[in-house]
Amino acid sequence: MDQSLKLYRLLLMASAFFYLSWWFAVEALLPGSFNPFLSRLLVSAFFIFVLLGSYISKSVLARIDFWFSACYWIATIHYFYLFHENKADINWIVGAYVTVMAVCACFQSSKHLLQYCIFVLCLSLFLAFEDPFLLKTIFLPGIFTILIFSYLGLRSRLNLLASQEALKSKDEFISIASHELRTPLTSIKLQTQMTKRKLEKGDDDALDPARMKRFLDQVEKQTDRLTSLIENMLDISMISAGKLGIKKTKINFSLFLEGTVNSLSDLLAQAQCKTNFQIKPDLNINIDQFKMEQVIVNLMTNAMKYGKGKPISISLADSKREIILIIQDHGIGIAKENQERIFQRFERAISAKDISGMGLGLYICQQFVEAHGGSIRVESIVGQGSSFTVRLPL
Ligand code: ADP
């Protein structure tokens, strides 16, 4: 309120000053025009009263927005009144209406603006009935009023839709995220409980090195999954907050790509996916290494997840202006109608019952690639596999 109170006071002060000085200006430029001193003085005095009232009276201060509107409503009546005696000059009324509305619009709420529009419309109609000549003068204010109404209606409808959408995706996100986070935790808990029970029973098998290794491998796998889920969630919040900082360094992308894919060798072995490389050596590029690593890992994880047991081809080439990375699997594929929407947040083309996921990976990939000035797209045939192409400018 502090800041807006300052603004209200400033506007009231400026209005009183301009309202009075306009009288002097018009009187000097157009001697004898209809511009009664008393009414102009009264309107200016009202602005000053409200201004002083905001310092003296607590009730004026508490309802400063109401008193501010009252000043402009009265000023508008005065404009109309002046115009009434200057029937030939339509610019007066339109100019006054638009100016006053602009002040209200930039400063007051939609509710105030709406009330003001209705008020001006009623005032115009009243004048039109009183003097049919004025009918043509309400045409423009009428149009403006309709435009403002439409604008307000549209804006509140869009706001409503956006907030409904935001609520829906928040709920969806919470339910998907809790399900996704619970799955690895449940698996770790089950394995730990089983081992604990065996130990309590004095079963030596619990400490068998081969069994122990399997157990630790499982725990490691599930904690990796948890880490990547949490990383994705953090990325999403960074993207939503518009804080996606890209820190570029020049790297040998060919080596980097090969290294990143090789770091997934355990997962590739588990998914029984062989890899074929077709990488043009020594392609150097300026990129954010960590963000691009996430892109490669996300695309490779998807290729393993949706193409279990099938080979994955990774190719890297360049053209004059860009490098082109293609990750191709031979998995379940994506239907044409889903190929665009899977890059949006929470969008999936498969039920969570069949293959679990949050629908965030591709969204994050697209955001990261676009932040580098590049693009990502998919080509796919259901049942035959998918091919994701990432283009990064050199
Ligand atoms: P998630 O895999 O967690 O659901 P993504 O954003 O990575 O989230 O993928 C969105 C959707 O796109 C997936 O749910 C899946 O339906 C589809 N998809 C992504 N990659 C592939 C792929 N390689 N093969 C088939 N479908 C895929």
- pTM summary value: 0.58
DSSP 195-208: HHHHHHTT-GGGG-
Query: CB within 6 Å of ligand 1 — which residues?
Result: 298, 302-303, 306, 329, 331-334, 342, 348-350, 357-363, 386
The CB density around residue 356, as the number of other CB atoms within 10 Å, is 15
Reading the block at residue 16, the tokens are 């009183």
Q: Which residues pair with 312 in a beta bridge?
A: 275
Q: How far is the CA of 333 from the centre of ligand 1 (A)?
A: 9
Q: How far is the CA of 334 from the centre of ligand 1 (A)?
A: 8
Reading the block at residue 2, the tokens are 């502090």
Residue 371: C-alpha distances to residues 288, 329, 348, 366, 376 (Å): 10, 25, 23, 8, 11
pLDDT at 206: 73
Residues of the chain with pLDDT under 70: 1-3, 23, 26-35, 83-110, 132-153
Q: How far is the CA of 289 from the centre of ligand 1 (A)?
A: 23
pLDDT at 92: 59
Question: Which residues are CB-contacts of 308 (< 8 A; sequence separation ≥ 6)?
Answer: 271, 272, 273, 331
| Exposure class string for 366-383: b at 16+ Cβ within 10 A, else e | bbbbeebebebebebeee
State which ligand 1 atom lies nearest to the alpha carbon of 343: 6
Type and span of the H or E element at 7: helix 2-29
Dihedral sign computed on CA atoms, order 92, 98, 99, 104? positive
pLDDT at 147: 66
pLDDT at 104: 62
Give per-residue pLDDT as tens, 233-266: 888 778 877 777 788 899 999 999 999 999 888 8
pLDDT at 218: 82
Residue 58: C-alpha distances to residues 45, 47, 54, 62, 64 (Å): 20, 17, 7, 6, 10
